[in-house]
């Protein structure tokens, strides 16, 4: 039987929390170690896995741990590099679990520890990463034993800001940035994401620092989207690897993991009421329930305005404090206008007031949703009106900023967002 030990980093120290035992995804079960549960102030690793003396079912185990792995095409590439079946989440986790999102680390019993290291990347390496697409980043993920969720091609890298130098983390060396590649079928996606995140930040939404890395002439094959990890922090006296300061890990879990829903069901299809569930979770567990509910609400409004129909429950997360005792809504990420692409679905991943189709959602549906989710309707709708009225100005400020930086396609994307995003319906409503 395979045994995978599960660790969590608490204030910079690795603590064993339990193990996953089994041979296949159908029989593998996670259980907490008694010693961990008995530790003073110990906290469960997920809201969906509260302390228990017995093992969790294979399904509950899989919902959380498979939720740490890449999805879609990236997952397929990683599985190929590793020579394992893409459904065999245990094998992939055993291979990539050294550095995940958040502070969890998975080590298979007999695997010798891989010494942590940061390997310098040449500008040629970074250019290749921008050029090569998901197969290249999947190879990097496999090489560095690092698991990042999501379907787009990406790598977790270490960035030395002062020297403008990128490194590939090896073993359990933490990355500082997530770097995403362009997508062959979604033109300008890197600029699109940076444009949307900048606009969001101008509208007061909490977003991580991000920037576009241009390795050539700002074409899709030249650029990468880099976002600074909010789940990595530099403490006052950090350890050094290769003379580079090593950040500590903060734990995070996405809402699919926290609600115990499999990645496969990250899109709502049958009125499961995911928004209501997320608001309830924040009310019950957030250290700042009122602030976080409004933050989540603002993100929902923003996704509608830009026309981001990929706003599923793995694109929203909870971030834990260093001692794991505090839980907050994580900063907003992966906000892209998908509506500007003809090939993208026009169905939002989460229903608003019972409606999925972007062009059917109106102001009144948000009113219904606010009521449904247990928010103060007056306040929620004031935020709706404020954000809608400030949106165009924030978007054009962000587009002007990016154009000045040399990303001229930002203006074209801005135009298409105004034609295709939810903002279009509001503009026509007010004449
Ligand atoms: N700045 C960040 N800091 C920490 N975690 C992040 C950050 N940005 C994204 N993530 C995490 O990485 C995952 C993948 O990133 P995402 O942008 O959603 O990629 P994709 O486009 O493949 O879905 C997210 O689900 C989120 O948990
Ligand atoms: Mg995502």
Spatial separation of the C-alpha atoms in residues 172 and 123, rounded to whole Å: 24
Q: How far does residue 149's CA lie from ligand 1's centre (Å)?
A: 7
pLDDT (0 to 100) of residue 428: 66
Sign of CA pseudo-dihedral 296, 301, 302, 307: positive
Q: What is the DSSP letter of 220?
A: T
Spatial separation of the C-alpha atoms in residues 272 and 270, rounded to whole Å: 5
Q: What is the DSSP letter of 139?
A: H
User: What domains lie within the chain, and their CATH numbers?
Assistant: 2-108 (no CATH), 117-249 (no CATH), 255-430 (1.10.1070)
Q: How far does residue 180's CA lie from ligand 1's centre (Å)?
A: 9
CB of 181 closer than 6 angstroms to any ligand 1 atom: no
Count H helices, E strands: the chain? 14, 19
Q: What CA–CA distances, in Å, run from 44 to 39, 193, 421?
A: 11, 33, 40
Percent share of the chain, pLDDT over 70: 97
Count of residues in the chain? 431
User: Which atom of ligand 1 is nearest the CA belonging to 153?
Assistant: 22
CB atoms within 10 A of CB 13: 9
Spatial separation of the C-alpha atoms in residues 106 and 124, rounded to whole Å: 32
Mean pLDDT of 88-96: 92
CB of 209 closer than 6 angstroms to any ligand 1 atom: no
CB atoms within 10 A of CB 384: 21
Mean pLDDT of 369-376: 97
In 164-242, where does DSSP find H-type helix?
189-202
| 379 has pLDDT over 90 | yes
- Closest listed residue to residue 75, CA positions, set 156, 4, 6, 135: 135
**Does residue 107 contact residue 98 with C-beta atoms inside 8 Å?**
yes
Instruction: Tell whether pTM > 0.85.
Output: yes
**Does residue 172 contact residue 98 with C-beta atoms inside 8 Å?**
yes
pLDDT (0 to 100) of residue 97: 86
| Ligand 1 atom 2, closest CA | 229
Angle at alpha carbon of residue 68, lines to 62 and 72, rounded to 5°: 90
Ligand 1 mutation pick, 77, 197, 315, 333, max ligand atoms within 8 A of CB: 333
| Ligand 1 atom 15, closest CA | 150
- Sorting pLDDT into bands at 50, 70 and 90, what band is 112? low
| 151 has pLDDT over 80 | no
Q: What are phi and psi of 62, to 5 degrees?
A: -65, -40
Mean pLDDT of 73-87: 89
Q: What ranges make up the beta strands (E) of 265-322?
A: 317-320
Q: How far does residue 336's CA lie from ligand 2's centre (Å)?
A: 10
User: Which atom of ligand 1 is nearest the CA belonging to 71?
Assistant: 22
Ligand 1 mutation pick, 178, 196, 211, 258, max ligand atoms within 8 A of CB: 178
| Ligand 1 atom 23, closest CA | 150
pLDDT (0 to 100) of residue 171: 84
Q: How far does residue 116's CA lie from ligand 1's centre (Å)?
A: 23
Q: How far does residue 212's CA lie from ligand 2's centre (Å)?
A: 17
| Ligand 1 atom 5, closest CA | 229
């Amino acid at each position: 039987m395979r045994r995978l030990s599960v660790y969590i980093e608490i204030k910079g120290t690795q603590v064993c929390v339990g193990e996953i035992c089994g041979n296949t995804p159908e029989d593998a079960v996670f259980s907490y170690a008694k010693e961990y549960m008995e530790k003073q102030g110990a906290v469960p690793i997920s809201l969906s896995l509260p302390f228990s003396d017995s093992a969790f079912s294979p399904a509950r185990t899989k919902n959380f741990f498979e939720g740490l792995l890449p999805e879609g095409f990236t997952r397929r590439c990683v599985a190929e590099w590793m020579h394992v079946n893409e459904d065999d989440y245990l094998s992939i986790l055993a291979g990539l679990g050294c550095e995940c999102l958040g502070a969890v680390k998975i080590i298979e019993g007999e695997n010798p520890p891989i010494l942590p290291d940061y390997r310098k990347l040449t500008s040629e390496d970074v250019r290749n990463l921008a050029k090569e697409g998901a197969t290249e980043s999947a190879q990097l993920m496999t090489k560095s034993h690092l698991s990042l969720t999501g379907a787009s091609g990406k790598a977790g890298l270490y960035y030395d800001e002062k020297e403008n130098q990128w490194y590939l983390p090896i073993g359990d060396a933490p990355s500082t940035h997530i770097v995403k590649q362009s997508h062959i079928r979604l033109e300008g996606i890197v600029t699109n994401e940076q444009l949307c995140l900048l606009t969001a930040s101008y509208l007061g939404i909490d977003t991580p620092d991000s920037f576009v890395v241009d390795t050539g002439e700002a074409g899709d094959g030249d650029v990468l989207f880099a976002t600074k990890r909010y789940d990595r922090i530099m403490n006052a006296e950090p350890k050094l690897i290769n003379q580079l300061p090593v950040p500590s890990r903060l734990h995070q879990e996405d809402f699919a993991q926290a609600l115990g829903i499999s990645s496969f069901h990250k899109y709502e299809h049958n009125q499961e009421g995911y928004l209501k569930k997320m608001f309830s979770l924040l009310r019950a567990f957030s250290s700042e329930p009122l602030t976080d509910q409004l933050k989540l609400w603002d993100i929902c409004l923003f996704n509608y305005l830009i026309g981001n129909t990929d706003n599923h429950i793995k694109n929203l997360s909870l971030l834990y404090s260093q001692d794991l005792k505090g839980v907050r809504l994580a900063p907003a990420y992966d906000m892209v206008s998908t509506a500007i692409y003809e090939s993208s679905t026009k169905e939002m991943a989460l229903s608003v007031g019972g409606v999925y189709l972007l062009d059917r959602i109106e102001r009144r549906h948000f009113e219904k949703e606010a009521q449904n989710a247990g928010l103060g309707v007056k306040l929620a709708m004031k935020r709706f009106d404020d954000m809608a009225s400030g949106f165009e100005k924030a978007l054009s400020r962000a587009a002007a900023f990016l154009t000045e930086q040399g990303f001229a396609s930002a203006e074209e994307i801005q135009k298409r967002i105004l034609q295709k995003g939810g903002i279009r319906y509001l503009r026509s409503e007010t004449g």
